[in-house]
Amino acid sequence: MFWLTLIPVLLHLTRGNSPCFGRSLGISPSRTQFFKRESFTLCCGADEHIMTDSKSACSQKSHECNITLAGIHHKGSYWCDRSGERGEAVNITVTEGSVILGSPVHPVPEGTSVTLRCLTSLKSSKQLVVVTPINQSCTFSKDGRLIGVGLTGEMSFAAVNRSYEGLYKCTFSDAESPGSWLAVRATSSPESLPPTSFPPSHHHRFLYAVRAVLLLVLLGVFGGCCWRTHKEPEEAASEDVTDGDVMLNRTEQKKDPETNTHKV
């Protein structure tokens, strides 16, 4: 019975905050805008399928889809589906421009800090796209109105509320990014919030390794407790037998006076 009650705890620790569990679409890198010929990964839960209204080949094939050379045909809405139950949709944009905006994939709760990043692309020797942050002055707009300048290519909000919802863009050297919608949830319940990040795979492996070590420690502690609980009654019984033998010897000595005589 002990191991049966421990199984749900072990599963919870193993899953952690991975975006591949639950009804929310996970994206790596964690943004909704991508350059043409860039690579990214989509992920749903193990018992779900990726669905889309685009011309992407990802639809209905698996719970995970790797796009190695993004094209304009990958632009569209994507969501996770479980037996006909549709999860929250994410709109993905693929652009041939030189600037994109990095913003949260899913709605964020009120009071959360949010950072918008202006990104550009560099082509490698194999014509693949390498995305880099713009560490220079960029302008940011919301719903077509200028809201500020990020001297290092970023704009941060300490605590967002519903008034922060809107369509955001960034501009660098007269090149403007596509727009991304920032959604803010009024609820603060952590159970209803989807994950807002998809760490790189090596970071996931590190987290899972740490959780595996914690699981081993927990198993060792619980196993030690069970062993001690089983061992203590045996030790107590052994002590009772020893004490009983001592008392029996004392009683026999009192009954036999010859045992108390001294030899000459």
Number of domains in the chain: 2
d(CA 1, CA 149): 60
Q: pLDDT tens digit string along 210-227?
A: 566 676 766 766 666 665
Examine residue 261 and state whether it is found in any structural domain, yes or no: no
Tokens coding 251: 């009683």
Query: Within this chain, do residues 84 and 186 fall inside the same structural domain, yes or no?
Result: yes
Sorting pLDDT into bands at 50, 70 and 90, what band is 9? very low
Torsional class of 16: left (φ above 0), alpha (ψ -120 to 50), beta (otherwise): left
Query: Within this chain, do residues 177 and 234 fall inside the same structural domain, yes or no?
Result: no
pLDDT mean across residues, the chain: 76
Look at residue 251 and give its three-state secondary structure: helix
For every residue of 200-211, DSSP letters joined together read: -HHHHHHHHHHH
Query: Within this chain, do residues 50 and 172 fall inside the same structural domain, yes or no?
Result: yes
Examine residue 13 and state whether it is found in any structural domain, yes or no: no
Query: Within this chain, do residues 156 and 249 fall inside the same structural domain, yes or no?
Result: no
CB 6 within 8 A of CB 71: no
Query: Within this chain, do residues 168 and 237 fall inside the same structural domain, yes or no?
Result: no
Lowest pLDDT segment from 161-170, 224-233, 238-247: 238-247
Question: Taking the mean position of all CA atoms in its chain, how far away is CA 112?
Answer: 17
Sorting pLDDT into bands at 50, 70 and 90, what band is 230? low
Query: Within this chain, do residues 53 and 133 fall inside the same structural domain, yes or no?
Result: yes
Examine residue 38 and state whether it is found in any structural domain, yes or no: yes
Query: Within this chain, do residues 114 and 30 fall inside the same structural domain, yes or no?
Result: yes
CA dist list (Å): 67 to 132, 166, 200 = 19, 28, 15
Examine residue 175 and state whether it is found in any structural domain, yes or no: yes
Give ∠ CA 106-91-71 in degrees, rounded to 5. 130
Give ∠ CA 133-139-142 in degrees, rounded to 5. 110
Look at residue 261 and give its three-state secondary structure: coil
Examine residue 217 and state whether it is found in any structural domain, yes or no: yes
Query: Within this chain, do residues 175 and 122 fall inside the same structural domain, yes or no?
Result: yes
Query: Within this chain, do residues 177 and 221 fall inside the same structural domain, yes or no?
Result: no
Residue 75 is part of which domain span?
20-199
Examine residue 204 and state whether it is found in any structural domain, yes or no: no
CB 58 within 8 A of CB 115: no
CB 36 within 8 A of CB 71: yes
CATH code at position 108: 2.60.40.10
Examine residue 39 and state whether it is found in any structural domain, yes or no: yes
- Say how many C-beta atoms besides its own lie within 10 A of residue 11's C-beta: 10
Residue 72 has pLDDT above 70, yes or no: yes
DSSP-assigned letter for residue 8: H
Examine residue 225 and state whether it is found in any structural domain, yes or no: yes
Query: Within this chain, do residues 78 and 116 fall inside the same structural domain, yes or no?
Result: yes
Lowest pLDDT segment from 20-24, 37-41, 43-47, 252-256: 252-256
CB 30 within 8 A of CB 197: yes
Query: Within this chain, do residues 27 and 125 fall inside the same structural domain, yes or no?
Result: yes
Query: Within this chain, do residues 174 and 92 fall inside the same structural domain, yes or no?
Result: yes
